[in-house]
Amino acid sequence: MSQFDIQLDKVAVLMGGRSAEREVSLMSGHGVLQALQQQGVNAQAFDPGSCDLGALKSEGFTRCFIALHGRFGEDGTVQGALELLGIPYTGPGVKASAIAIDKIMTKRLWRADGLPTPAWRTVHSVDQTLAAYAELAKPGQVMIVKPAREGSTLGLTKVHGADQCATAYALAAGLDPEVLCEQFIAGDEVTVPVLGAGEDARALPLIRIVAPDGNYDYQAKYFTNTTRYLLPSGLPESEEAAIAALVLKAFSSLGCRGWARADVMIDAATRQPYLLEINTSPGMTGHSLVPMSAQAAGISYADLCLQILQQATLDYA
């Protein structure tokens, strides 16, 4: 971890960017910016969507808080640029970020490490999507179709029948040429934030998500108040502990550091947890889950931002 001096560091809060999640990134970034400034940090907003990243060096920034979401911010590209500029940044490094944004590669690594994740198929056509539905979903059941490299459930469809496959594939393929068809796990949906790195990484309190009609989509995540977030989750302590341990293994498996948030489904019949994905630059808006979980652990929003910033580093420090 690089040295952090709140009096000397000039911090850029990277927000906005060019991804489909630009709007949410601006919301996250402005929240982080205000919190850091209130803590006495010399923090300024920086939008890579309109500013050349090279200006970070010429303008004397010594550290970056990445509040970008999705492509060109959460996928290793900005991390690589900051490595070249020699400016420490928050969150996982180049390799971990590039892997985590790719749900297919993430699942391959987790499966190789013996970690549970729903069965899946990668598809590139409507016909392949229909074949995947026949394989992954029994008649009358559900299959998930989503782009391989997007966040915030953008482009995701719950397919309830073969007649919906073409529309679901078109929606996902419009955002990414690689489309993921995934077995649907019916049961409790939970999320677990992680702070720290290596042996010091720790899981924050688990949140159980109860969305209207089970649809935790982009609108439900950021712009409505109808989704319920249960914290405490109401799950047995032993089950919470097992899920937290699983998430820490998943975090380590991808080589993550700093912070992240893992999404998990718990099979209602077997109570087996299944890893869905890891977000390496989670939301920090008023609806976001990492600040909510941190608050339950006694960490205020402002202190959370400062803790994340203090862990800013480089792959090749």
Q: Which one of the listed residues 279, 281, 288, 293 is annotated catalytic?
A: 279
Q: Which one of the listed residues 25, 97, 152, 253 is annotated catalytic?
A: 152
Only one residue has tokens 């990668």, namely 122
Please tell me whether the peptide bond between 236 and the residue prior to it is cis, using omega within 30 degrees of 0.
no
Specify the 3-state DSSP secondary structure of 25: helix
**Is-catalytic flag, 283?**
yes
**Is-catalytic flag, 293?**
no
Q: Which one of the listed residues 21, 75, 182, 240 is annotated catalytic?
A: 21
Q: How many CB atoms lie within 10 A of CB 210?
A: 14
Name the amino acid, one letter, at 219.
Q
Could you give the angle at the alpha carbon of 106 between the alpha carbons of 132 and 122, nearest 5°?
A: 20
Q: How many CB atoms lie within 10 A of CB 298?
A: 7
Cβ atoms 124, 177 nearer than 8 A: yes
Return the structure tokens found at 111: 């499966």
Name the amino acid, one letter, at 30.
H
Q: Which one of the listed residues 28, 89, 277, 281 is annotated catalytic?
A: 277
Cβ atoms 16, 25 nearer than 8 A: yes
Produce one character per residue of 82-117: b if its CB has 16 or more CB atoms within 10 Å, e if not: bbebebbbbbbbbebbbbbbbbebbbebbeeeebbb
**Is-catalytic flag, 288?**
no
Q: Which one of the listed residues 176, 261, 281, 288 is annotated catalytic?
A: 261
**Is-catalytic flag, 21?**
yes
Q: Which helix (H) or strand (E) holds 127?
A: helix 126-136
**Is-catalytic flag, 23?**
no
**Is-catalytic flag, 263?**
yes
Q: Which one of the listed residues 283, 288, 293, 301 is annotated catalytic?
A: 283
Return the structure tokens found at 271: 């109570």
**Is-catalytic flag, 108?**
no
Q: Which one of the listed residues 222, 253, 257, 301 is annotated catalytic?
A: 222
- Strand order in 179-183's β-sheet? 120-123, 179-183, 143-147, 157-159
Which residues are marked as active site? 21, 152, 222, 261, 263, 277, 279, 283
